[in-house]
Amino acid sequence: MSATGPRTAHRRTVDDRTRGRRPRSGLAVLFAALVSLLATTVLGAPGAVARDPVDAAPAAKAAAAPTAALTEVTGFGSNPSNLQMYLYVPDSVTANPAVVVAVHYCTGSGPAMYSGTEYASLADTYGFIVVYPSVTRASKCFDVSSPQALTRGGGSDPVGIKSMVDWVTRTYSADTDRVFATGISSGAMMTNVLLGDYPDVFAAGAAFSGVPFGCFATTDGSEWNSACSGGTVLHTPQEWGDLVRDAYPGYTGPRPRMQVWHGTEDDVLRYPNFGEEIDQWTNVLGVGRTPAATDSPQSGWTRTRYGATGDQAPVEAVSLQGVGHNLYAWGMAARVLTFFGLDSSGPGPQPQPGACKVTATTSAWSTGLTGSVTITNTGTSRIEGWQLGFTLPSGQTVTNGWGATYAPASGAVTATNATYNGTIAANASVSIGYQASHTGNSSPPTAFTLNGTVCSGT
> 359 with 457: CB under 8 angstroms?
yes
Strand order in the sheet with 429-437: 397-402, 429-437, 368-377, 356-364, 456-457
Rounded Cα distance between 289 and 271, Å, is: 17
Nearest to 423 by CA among 392, 458, 393, 451: 451
Rounded distance between C-alpha atoms, residue 445 and residue 458, angstroms: 11
- Which positions are annotated as active-site residues? 185
Amino acid identity for residue 283 in this structure: N
